[in-house]
Structure 1
Amino acid sequence: MENKTFTISIYSENNVGLLNRISAIFLKRHINIESLNVSGSEIDGVSRFVIVVNTTEDWVRKIVGQIEKQIEVIKAFFHTDDETIHLESALFKIKSDLLFDERQIQNIIKENHADIVTVARDFFVIVKTGRRYEIEEMYDQLKPYGIMQFVRSGRISVSKAEMQISSLLQEFQEL
């Protein structure tokens, strides 16, 4: 089997130490986590982890099975990139004088469908949301001008197919 990029979605209770136990599952198998995001979910009181890994389908099945054995985990799913809609966000901090002195900076912002979120005396901040390769392209375009700070979020994603987590939780509540 060949390695592919998989997005793992984990619905869980919000308990201390769960992230550590989940990351240990990947560590034991020497699988690098490419991206990690944890947030609230569409269900009140339930957290959602979105983890991106590059591995085989066989390994991702085993990992999801191990994750689901954690007491606080309600359900875990995995999807290929084709089965999800996914984005990342990035912030670029650039010297303010470049915004006015280098016309190309304004063109880069416009061509990349990015936005300026703040302008201060010494710097301005650009936000770009999109696929990883789009953010990397913008980074490469801005790098020659000097990037003071750069940060990119982990992947956020939704599956194209219904994951049926809400109906699963409703069944548990009715018992």
Structure 2
Amino acid sequence: MSTEEKQLYAISVYTENNIGLLNRISAIFQRRHINIESLNTSPSEIDGVSKFTIVVNMNEVGIQKIIGQIEKQVEVIKAYYHTLDEIIYQIAGLFKIKSELLFEERQIQNIIKESNARIVTVNKEFFVLEKSGKKEEIVNLYNKLAPFGIMQYTRSGLIAVTKEEMKISTLLKTYNN
């Protein structure tokens, strides 16, 4: 693949947890008219350091420029980018469905079993399914459940760890000392 071809990249940004940083980072993408496919923020493996995981579809030259702009932010400790082949990732989906379908539609039970989805809660009105996996798996489950009626649906942003050891772990250990 050439550096000019667009593909999905996962950007990992390690930062101090400061108010307003998300706005400044998203503005970097907005100024370049780059759509953010997915965004997740969470604590990192080091206390006091947050991790942003941002998924974008662009070419490698562009992603390198974006990384440079992100790292200019004062609170950013380090930013990396990886192709989806270089990471282990998951996305979660939640599906809220009428409870009567769980008991009256045998096919729903089969769909749950075949998709390795997990029932999170059940009450008289509704039940909630959770499915983790690749985006395609979540969308596939959605497509199978949609004909029965989905009351509510949401999908998380991508969360990821790298396949290779990252030097950030060593850098972050020195950060808090």
For normalisation by structure 1, the TM-score amounts to: 0.97
The CA distance in 2 between the partners of 1:21 and 1:147, in whole Å, is 36
**Equivalent position amino acid for 1:154 in 2:** G
Instruction: Give 1:170 deviation, angstroms.
Output: 3.6
Matches within 5 A, 1:20-99: 20-99=23-102
The CA distance in 1 between the partners of 2:176 and 2:157, in whole Å, is 32
The CA distance in 2 between the partners of 1:7 and 1:57, in whole Å, is 12
Q: CA offsets per residue over residues 19-66 of structure 1, 9 Å max, x none? A: 000000000110000000000000000000000000000000000110
Match of 2:103 among 100, 103, 121: 100
Structure 1: which 5+ residue stretches go unaligned?
A: none
- Per the alignment, residue 165 of structure 1 pairs with 168
- Per the alignment, residue 9 of structure 1 pairs with 12
**Equivalent position amino acid for 2:110 in 1:** N
**Equivalent position amino acid for 2:61 in 1:** D
For normalisation by structure 2, the TM-score amounts to: 0.96
Q: CA offsets per residue over residues 102-136 of structure 1, 9 Å max, x none? A: 00000000000011010010100000000000000
The CA distance in 1 between the partners of 2:17 and 2:48, in whole Å, is 7
Give secondary structure in 1 for the equivalent of 2:27.
helix
Match of 1:125 among 125, 128, 148: 128
Instruction: List 4+ stretches of structure 1 deviating above 4 A.
Output: 171-174
The answer to whether the Cα contact below 8 Å between 2:92 and 2:155 also exists between their aligned partners in 1 is: yes
**Equivalent position amino acid for 2:162 in 1:** S
CA RMSD of aligned residues (A): 1.0
- Does the C-alpha gap of structure 1 residues 99 and 65 become closer, same or farther in structure 2, counting only changes over 3 Å? same
Instruction: Give 1:166 deviation, angstroms.
Output: 2.1
* Number of residue pairs the alignment of both structures matches: 174
- Does the C-alpha gap of structure 1 residues 171 and 125 become closer, same or farther in structure 2, counting only changes over 3 Å? closer
Taking every aligned residue pair, what percent have the same amino acid on both sides?
A: 62
Give secondary structure in 1 for the equivalent of 2:74.
coil
Asked if 1:154 corresponds to 2:157, the answer is yes
- Per the alignment, residue 141 of structure 1 pairs with 144
Instruction: Give 1:171 deviation, angstroms.
Output: 4.2
